[in-house]
Amino acid sequence: MKNYGDEKECLILNTSMLCIVVLHKNLWCIAFRKIFIYNLPMPTVKEMGAFKRAVYVYYHKHKRDLPWRHTKNPYHILVSEIMLQQTQVQRVEVKYREFLRAFPTVKALATASLADVLRVWQGMGYNRRTKMLHEAANVIVRDYHGRVPRDMKTLMTFPGIGPSTAGGICAYAYNMPVVFIETNIRRVYIHHFFADRRGVTDAEIFPLVEATLNRNHPREWYSALMDYGTHLALTTENPNRKSKGYMRQKPFKGSDREVRGTILKILAEGPRSQVFLFKHLPFNKERIIHILENLERESLITHKKTIYVLGS
């Protein structure tokens, strides 16, 4: 799941189908059969050309000046893609710069303690991403001589990296004409090609992404899709509601995510006792203990006797 502008939106992807189509192009017929079943013919060359012009016209007038668009450094792109999972662009812009100041290279990240990485990550939420990014950095340093791999299949073996993140890394870091779908891409294609449909699957969208891909300039094309998708999120009734996998995210207030984030924020300031947490957290003790156990199971925190600290 990835979110570039609507924090309340959450999409559950049929990633197994997407992986099959991405990694085995000879199975492209799966997607085409689904389109045939729904009686949805592929757009004409003229229609696809008009679609691409509309995307580029918007982009050339309104493209966003984002810091990760000023680099081709694969490690920097990896950091930005992980951060942009489920987090608003405005928050990522600030934290991206701060994070790279603290960990300017993949080796710097790999050799840092998880506790230090968690401290820098504070304010981003979804802290499991921190551990997975830290683990991915260790794999890159240990097994790939500090170089981020340039193929989706390998990247998808890393912690926290699925098809959309792997595709983003290949497209933005290496300008590779890979095919992938994420929230904004899905929104654009549903808006233009499935306006009268509900229950649209990624398997139906995928051939359209493949057919309209600018293979000479995939980095720019995907940036254009992202910006246009963000524009549609603000100016139309969210087209992604027509996606078969669409699901609204539960409110943050009062959620386990709020409890987790609050605990980690307190522990980022230093070790704290269980009694301290009970006193300063506005949640019942049973719930706090349950969340503490989950965080420790995920190796985000550890404890000795009744004192809790960040990291494993």
Active-site amino acid positions = 81
Q: How many residues does the chain have?
A: 312
Q: Which residues are registered as beta bridge partners of 248?
A: 9
DSSP classification of residue 200: B
Contact 205, 191 (CB under 8 A): no
How would you write 247-302 as a 3-class SS string? Answer: EECCCCCCCHHHHHHHHHHHHCCCCEEHHHHHHHCCCCHHHHHHHHHHHHHCCCEE
- What are the counts of helices (DSSP H) followed by strands (DSSP E) for the chain? 16, 5
CB 176 within 8 A of CB 170: yes
Starting at the edge strand that comes first in sequence, how are the strands of the sheet with 301-304 ordered? 272-273, 307-310, 301-304
Closest CA to 194 of 235, 249, 247, 244: 244
- What is the three-class DSSP state of 310? strand
Q: Which helix (H) or strand (E) holds 202?
A: helix 202-212
**How far apart, in whole angstroms, are the C-alpha atoms of residue 128 and residue 258?**
14
Residue-by-residue DSSP string for 11-53: E---HHHHHHHHH-GGGHHHHHHHHHHTT-PPPPHHHHHHHHH
